[in-house]
Amino acid sequence: MLRLMIITKQKNFDDILRSIDSKPVFLIGCNQCATLCHTGGKDEVLALKKALETKKISVSGWVILEPACHTMNDKRMLKDHAAELSQSEKILVLACGNGVQTLAGLVTEKEIIAGTDTLFLGEISHITEFNKRCVMCGECLLDSYGGLCPVSQCPKSMLNGPCGGSFHGKCEINQQVECVWDRIIQGLKKRGALQALSIIQPPKDWSKAGEMNRRI
Partner 1 sequence: MTYRSTFEKSLSEERFVVTAEIGPPKSADPLKIRDKAILLEGCADAFNVTDNQTAVVRLSSLAGSLILLQMDMEPIMQMTCRDRNRIGLQSDVLGAAALGVRNILCLTGDHQSVGNHPGAKGVFDIDSIQLLQIIKNMRDEGIFQSGDLLRGTRPCVFLGAAANPYADPSEIQVDRLRKKIDAGAEFIQTQSVYNVEKFLVWIDDVRSQGLDKQVHILAGITPLKSVKMAERMKYHVPGTDVPDAVYERIKNASDPAKEGYQIALQTIRELKDIKGIHGIHITALFWEEIIPALVTESGLHTQR
Residues found near partner 1 in the complex (CB under 8 A)? 155-169, 172-173, 179, 182, 185, 194, 197-198, 200-204, 206
Contact predicate 100/36, CB 8 Å? no
What are the two backbone dihedrals, phi and then psi, of residue 201, each rounded to the nearest 5 degrees?
-75, 130
CB of 203 to partner 1, least distance (A): 5
Q: Which is nearer to partner 1, 25 or 197 (CB)?
A: 197
CB of 188 to partner 1, least distance (A): 10
Residues 103 and 107: their CA atoms lie apart, in Å, by 6
Residue 193 CB neighbours (<10 A): 11
β-pairing verdict for 90-93 and 25-30: parallel
Decide whether 31 or 157 has the Cβ nearer to partner 1: 157
Q: Which is nearer to partner 1, 131 or 201 (CB)?
A: 201
Distances (CA, A) of 22 to 55, 59, 92: 9, 10, 13
CB of residue 179 to partner 1, shortest distance in Å: 8
Which C-beta is closer to partner 1: that of 116 or that of 166? 166
Q: Which is nearer to partner 1, 77 or 159 (CB)?
A: 159
Which has the closest alpha carbon to 53: 41, 42, 62?
62
DSSP state of 188: H
Choice between 164 and 210, CB closer to partner 1 = 164
CB of 172 to partner 1, least distance (A): 4
| Interatomic CA distance for residues 109 and 116, integer angstroms | 21
> Both ends of the chain: CA-CA distance in Å?
30
> What span, in angstroms and rounded, lies between the C-alpha atoms of 72 and 51?
31
* Rounded-to-integer distance, Cα 44 and Cα 16, Å: 14
Minimum distance, C-beta of residue 190 to partner 1, in the bound complex (Å):
13
Report in angstroms how near the CB of residue 129 gets to partner 1 at its nearest: 22
